[in-house]
Amino acid sequence: DAGVTQSPTHLIKTRGQQVTLRCSPKSGHDTVSWYQQALGQGPQFIFQYYEEEERQRGNFPDRFSGHQFPNYSSELNVNALLLGDSALYLCASSLDRDFLYNEQFFGPGTRLTVL
Amino acid sequence: QKEVEQNSGPLSVPEGAIASLNCTYSDRVSQSFFWYRQYSGKSPELIMSIYSNGDKEDGRFTAQLNKASQYVSLLIRDSQPSDSATYLCAVNNSGDDKIIFGKGTRLHILP
């Protein structure tokens, strides 16, 4: 049973650049959520995608955008990178019909460093 | 602002003892409660979910929920060095997509 996968594992970018992170959900899951985790903090919700649409968004600027494909995989795009965007970016998958419980399973994450 | 509060630790517990991790949350309509374990440099791993008041046991882990007190805890029996990690408490409201996480408690099991 394939778990959540993310790519790349690590990325180094410079301020002002753009980055795209990718996620494939756990087999059988149809919903993807993205989180940002700064060092020493808990994950912070960025947004969630279901049926190829952004369903809910956390307190993140429009520089953060996403997409979900028909196969349920997802991308997170960040434009005009700032030093403060350096963090571990986590993708979590879940099953929409299980919304009452909303168990989310995380991928290994992408470590983004902005110089 | 919905909040989830945890003691950051570190919490040091001798091997074989019971580790007790605590969490409080601010939103009374919260419905689902989760404990994630996160090893240094790794992603969070879901170890327990609880939805009703009372205790839920899974192996060496017991989650306890008290909605009236807005309090959820995790007990780890027979603590092992491999239990040393950061434990994240997370809360979700029914129909809400996002999960709100606490900052985590660092647990250190002393051999």
pLDDT at residue B93, as a whole number: 74
**pLDDT band, very low/low/confident/very high, at A97 (cuts 50, 70, 90):** low
pLDDT at residue A78, as a whole number: 98
**pLDDT band, very low/low/confident/very high, at B94 (cuts 50, 70, 90):** low
Q: Is B4–A42 a contact, with Cβ atoms under 8 angstroms apart?
A: yes
**Residue/partner pairs of B46-55 with CB below 8 Å, 24 or more apart:** B46/A103, B46/A104, B46/A105, B46/A106, B47/B74, B48/B74, B49/A101, B49/A103, B51/A101
pLDDT at residue A100, as a whole number: 64
Cα–Cα distance measured from residue B1 to residue B7, given in angstroms and rounded to the nearest whole number? 19
C-beta separation of A95 from A33 below 8 A: no
Which chain A residue has the Cα nearest residue B38?
A42
Q: Is B101–A43 a contact, with Cβ atoms under 8 angstroms apart?
A: yes
Give me the residue from B92, B102, B104 closest to A102, CB to CB: B92
Q: Is A108–B100 a contact, with Cβ atoms under 8 angstroms apart?
A: no
CA torsion B23-B26-B32-B37 (nearest 10°) is -30
Per-residue pLDDT reduced to its tens digit, B64-86: 999 999 999 999 999 999 999 99
Cα–Cα distance measured from residue A46 to residue A89, given in angstroms and rounded to the nearest whole number? 10
pLDDT at residue A22, as a whole number: 98
**pLDDT band, very low/low/confident/very high, at B96 (cuts 50, 70, 90):** confident
Residue B59 distance to chain A (closest CA, Å)? 19
Distance (Å) of CA A56 to CA B55, B98, B105: 31, 8, 28
Q: Is A105–B46 a contact, with Cβ atoms under 8 angstroms apart?
A: yes
